[in-house]
């Protein structure tokens, strides 16, 4: 993908932080409002894809290599499966929600019924949301970036 005009680049640079913040909000509030790691991750990844479209794949791949993205993705996946293993260690069962019920970290049980709840609830669910969110952001962006870079390189007659 080649670079687009200056207007597009400026607008993208302005819009990018808003899209990013919105995506992070969706990830962080996954256990309270509609959304979660996948949805928020998709929002952030599309913000990154917007950058890619506006600034061109060569500029983007100079800023961030796909190898580094791949490492981040591994980290997200390991965090997720690690939380599952922590369930095995602390709660005796794989994928146990071992944090629920304690009183400090994400452990508060909300009042049954409707009502606004605290963000400090739901045990491991918010942590898993973050792990999955990281994975989805990096994963989707890596797919788009690699495909865009490969196709532009080809067009320049490198065959």
Partner 1 sequence: MSKRNLAAAVFFSIVAVVFIFSALLMHPFGVLDESDMDDYVIENTQEETGANNGVTSVVFDYRGFDTLGEATVLFTAVAAVIMIFRRLKND
Partner 2 sequence: MIYNIPYIAVVCLILIGLYALVFKRNLIKMVIGITLIESGVNLFLITLGYRKGSIAPIYTSSPGGIMALPIPQALTLTSIVIGVAVLALMLSLVIHIYRHYGTLDVRKVRRLKE
Partner 3 sequence: MNVPEYTPALIVAVPLLGAFLTPLISRINDKLRNIFVILVLGLNSLLVGLLAFNIFTKSTPDSPFIYTYIFGAKDVTLPVVRILFEVDAMSIFMAIIASILVFVAVIYSWSFMKENTGLDKYYTLLLLLTAGMLGMMLTGDMFNFFVFLEITSIASCALIAFWTNKAESVEAAFKYIVISAIGALFVLFAIALLYGQYDALNIAVLSNAIQYTFLDKIALVLLIVALAMKAGIVPMHMWLPDSYGRAPSTVTLALVGATLASLYGVLRVIFTLYGNILLEPAKFDIPVNMFIGWLIIPLAVISIIVGVIMALRQTDFKRLIAFAAVAEIGYMFLAIGTGLAAMGTAYGRTALEGGIFHIINDALDVGLLFLVAGAIYYATKEWSLDEMGGLARNMKYTTIFFVIGILAVAGMPPFNGFASKLLIYESTFQLNPILAIVAILCSILLLAAFVKVFHSAFMGPKLPKFKDVKEVPKSMLFAMGILVCIIIFFGLFPNLVLENIVRPVADALLSNAQYLSMVLGGA
7 closest CA partner among 54, 61, 51: 54
How large is the angle between the packed helices 6-28 and 37-55, nearest 10 degrees? 170
How far apart are alpha carbons 116 and 50 in whole angstroms?
Answer: 34
Q: Name which of 50 and 77 has its Cβ closer to partner 3.
A: 77
Site for partner 3 in 47-86 (CB under 8 A): 70-71, 73-74, 77-78, 81, 84-85
**DSSP state at residue 29:** T
Q: Name which of 14 and 116 has its Cβ closer to partner 2.
A: 116
Q: How far is the CB of 114 from partner 2 (least distance, A)?
A: 4
Q: Is 88 in the site for partner 3 (CB under 8 A)?
A: yes
Full DSSP string of 85-132: HHHHHHHSSTT--TTTT-SSSS-BPPPSSSS---SSBSTTHHHHHHHH
Of the residues 10, 34, 50, 62, which one makes contact with partner 1 according to CB under 8 A: 34
Stretch that binds partner 3, among 26-34, 37-45, 87-95, 111-119 (CB under 8 A): 87-95
Of the residues 6, 7, 14, 92, which one makes contact with partner 3 according to CB under 8 A: 92
């Amino acid at each position: 993908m080649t670079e687009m005009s200056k207007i597009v680049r400026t607008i993208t640079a302005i819009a990018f932080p808003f899209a990013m913040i919105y995506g992070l909000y969706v990830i962080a509030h996954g256990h309270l409002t509609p959304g979660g790691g996948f949805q928020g991750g998709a929002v952030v990844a599309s913000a990154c894809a917007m950058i890619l479209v506006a600034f061109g794949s060569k500029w983007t791949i100079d800023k961030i290599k796909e190898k580094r993205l791949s490492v981040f993705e591994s980290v997200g996946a390991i965090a997720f499966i690690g939380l599952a293993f922590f369930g095995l260690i602390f709660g005796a069962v794989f994928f146990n929600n071992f944090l629920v019920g304690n009183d400090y970290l994400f452990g508060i049980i909300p009042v049954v019924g409707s009502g606004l709840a605290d963000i400090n609830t739901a045990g491991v669910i918010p942590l898993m949301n973050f792990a999955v969110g990281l994975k989805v952001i990096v994963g989707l962006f890596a797919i788009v970036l690699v495909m865009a870079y490969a196709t532009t390189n080809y067009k320049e007659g490198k065959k």
